[in-house]
Amino acid sequence: MDKLPEGLTWLHVGLPDPDPEIATHLHRGFIRKNVVAAYEHAAEVPSFATPRLAKWFRMQKSLGSKDRRRVSDTLYGLIRHDEVLRRFGSKSIDEKIDMWIAYHEGACLEAHAESPQKDFATALGLSEKIAREWQMRWAPPECLELAQALNRRPPTYLRINGHVEQVSADLQKEGIPVSSVEGMPTCLELIGRANIVGSKAYRSGSIEIQDISSQRFCRALEIDSDMIVWDMCAGAGGKTLAMAADGARVHATEPRTNAMKQLKKRAHRAGVIIEDHPPKKADLIVIDAPCSGTGRLHREPALRWRLREQDALQNLETQARLIQKAGKRLHRGGRIAYSTCSLLEDENNHPISGDMIDEKWLWPHKNGGDGFYWRIVSI
């Protein structure tokens, strides 16, 4: 099959199936008012829409858990499809909501087709350059699957510290259903939605929220006990804690102060010790480099707004510098593991001197989790 299914255009490839329940919620004035307020708050500073929305939801004490979920789901659906709704003729947030209601009640959305690249880019809410790269890599049926994957809410995955069967049973007792993941013995997938952070298992350090792609990367590192690891761009510490749980002596650095504070809190809860400075020499240096985040568009829909205002490839020089810096801190025979949550060639093809051990692309429509890339090289 070398084309889209009959009747489907590139403009429509990312749209979800109509859901009358979404329209029903939006007919409630209370839900609609909060969706508009959240959207307008995020749109004030599009490049920082994701943290602004997180803060906005924390401040909405009048929203009960069910209404909070309805507002959140509707809002992020509108953000995912912001550009295509604009293309179909809506401009203001109220017009977009009216169109979203009509669509979920069965109306057909029509617009004049342009080029496949432009229409696919509109469906994704991204630039034509990104759309063109992916269309050159994947045939139309796979592009359709990719668009659908990036435009729907992804599953939540848990990494387990301890006995998986016991933790799974404990979660079930708390009314949190989970399922095992084939080939991933310390990973569970959340079935549906639940307050994981409020669970006893989370508070005790038995589980961490970590996407399956990130967990697969950590397994590929083949951590040995007492291995000295430098996690150069640790973020809030998901990979850091996974490597420490496997017995590594982990040094973690992260330029963002708030992220480092979160890492230390998580390490304390998990009962592991993390050094917050670079080692003199390391056996393994992990560079989870700052990037466009294109592999996380389904998890962070408002990244589209940031990429609309900023160059998706603005981190290329930083990525190259991190690789160069890492080579100076390795023991002889040590390894560099370079990774991104980007699905763009330019962010993942930096030269790294040494012997290739492993290289992997993970795509949301093929591998289930976030889009992810890694390359492991022995120096």
Model confidence band, residue 1 (pLDDT cutoffs 50, 70, 90): very low
- What integer pLDDT is reported at residue 39 of this predicted model? 97
User: How do residues 150-200 score in pLDDT, each as one tens digit?
Assistant: 999 999 999 999 899 999 999 999 999 999 999 999 999 999 999 999 999
Mean local confidence (pLDDT), 264-291: 95
What is the percent of the chain where pLDDT is above 90? 93
As its CATH architecture, domain 155-210 has 2-Layer Sandwich (3.30)
User: How do residues 311-353 score in pLDDT, each as one tens digit?
Assistant: 999 999 999 999 999 989 999 899 999 999 999 999 999 999 9
- What integer pLDDT is reported at residue 211 of this predicted model? 97
Q: Evaluate if residue 79 carries a pLDDT over 70.
A: yes
3-state secondary structure labels for all residues of the chain: CCCCCCCCCHHHCCCCCCCHHHHHHHCCHHHHHHHHHHHHHHHCCHHHHHHHHHHHHHHCCCCCHHHHHHHHHHHHHHHHCHHHHHHCCCCCHHHHHHHHHHHHCCCCCCCCCCCHHHHHHHHHCCCHHHHHHHHHHCCHHHHHHHHHHHCCCCCCEEEECCCHHHHHHHHHHCCCCEEEECCEEEEEEECCCCCCCCCHHHHCCCEEECCHHHHHHHHHCCCCCCCEEEECCCCCCHHHHHHHHCCCEEEECCCCHHHHHHHHHHHHHHCCCCECCCCCCEEEEEEECCCCCHHHCCCCCCHHHHHHHCCCCCCHHHHHHHHHHHHHHEEEEEEEEEEECCCCHHHHCCCCCCEEEEEEEECHHHHCCCCEEEEEEEC
Domain(s) of CATH 3.30.70.1170: residues in the chain: 155-210
- What integer pLDDT is reported at residue 226 of this predicted model? 84
**CATH number for domain 220-378, candidates 3.40.50.150, 1.10.8.590, 3.40.640.10, 3.30.160.60:** 3.40.50.150
Domain(s) of CATH 3.40.50.150: residues in the chain: 220-378
- What integer pLDDT is reported at residue 6 of this predicted model? 85
